[in-house]
Amino acid sequence: MAINDYIIAPSILSADFAKLGEEVVNVIAAGADWVHFDVMDNHYVPNLTIGPLVCAAIRPCTTVPIDVHLMVKPVDRIVPDFARAGADIITFHPEASEHVDRSLALIRDNGCQAGLVFNPATPLNYMDYVLDKLDVILLMSVNPGFGGQQFIPATLAKARQARAKLDAYEQESGRRIRLEIDGGVNAANIADIARAGVDAFVAGSAIFGAGKDGDPHRYDSIVAALRAELSAVGA
């Protein structure tokens, strides 16, 4: 895969929320591709974060895609609000929706790209009958709810299985579905994750944590370090 095809998606969960707009501007200026936006409801996951108002507030800060990761139950009611707030991609956990096919269609009907999120123990076959409605598969490499957790190694084998399914689908349909990973991604493991077939990488603490000891608003070196690791993969 060409290096330019890899997506780096900083999770603003680990950003400085008192300066969120500035953080978004700086991390995109540092070369990141998407903004990953973690929505937690203290019901589906044991944490509470940000909603459509905050999405609308950061929308003018950047033109790159905002990748909304819904960790909420129910799913459908909040989808149009995020579409109106400027989301480009909306992903949700299949266990949180009573009707997965309908939720995917709803996201697309609202003009966004749609994706399913797989928890570490969630089987991949949730995707089997809805591939035509998917733009993204997001594999959790930690249990959802918090930033700063350790990458779960079993996710690598799962990524290879997901890649095989998505490649088979691309062969028959001509349509490429992105394979994204979320949780514990850093410069030490991103190359192995890419070799397992992942092409979009969420990183929260690895990116925003990197600013804490030095200049807090410069993320160039960590984004460059992640890209350098990825550039070695295709070679």
68 sits near ligand DX5 (criterion: CB under 6 A) = no
Q: Which residue in 86, 184, 197, 211 binds ligand DX5 (CB under 6 A)?
A: 184
Q: Please confirm, yes or no, whether 213 is among the known catalytic residues.
A: no
Helices (runs of H) and strands (runs of E) counted in the chain = 8, 8
Minimum separation from the CB atom of position 200 to ligand DX5 (A):
12
* Paired strand residues for 40: 71
Here the contacts of 220-229 (C-beta below 8 Å, separation 24 or greater) are 220/30, 220/31, 222/30, 222/187, 223/8, 223/27, 223/30, 223/31, 223/32, 224/30, 224/31, 225/187, 226/8, 226/187, 226/190, 226/201, 227/3, 227/6, 227/8, 227/31, 229/187, 229/190, 229/191, 229/194
Torsion sign (Cα): 188, 192, 195, 197:
negative
Stretch of 76-84, 91-99, 144-152, 215-223 lying at the interface with ligand DX5 (CB under 6 A): 144-152
Q: Please confirm, yes or no, whether 220 is among the known catalytic residues.
A: no
Stretch of 56-64, 86-94, 182-190, 222-230 lying at the interface with Zn ion (CB under 5 A): 182-190
Minimum separation from the CB atom of position 41 to ligand DX5 (A):
12
Residue 147 contact among ligand DX5, Zn ion, none, beta carbon within 5 to 8 Å by kind: ligand DX5
> Among all residues, whose Cβ is closest to Zn ion?
69
Per the structure block, which two tokens stand in for 64? Answer: 């790159």
Contacts to Zn ion from residues 23-62, by CB under 5 A: 38
The residue ranges that bind Zn ion (CB under 5 A) are 38, 69, 182
Catalytic residues: 38, 182
The residue ranges that bind ligand DX5 (CB under 6 A) are 11, 13-14, 36, 38, 69, 142, 144-145, 147-149, 182-185, 202-206
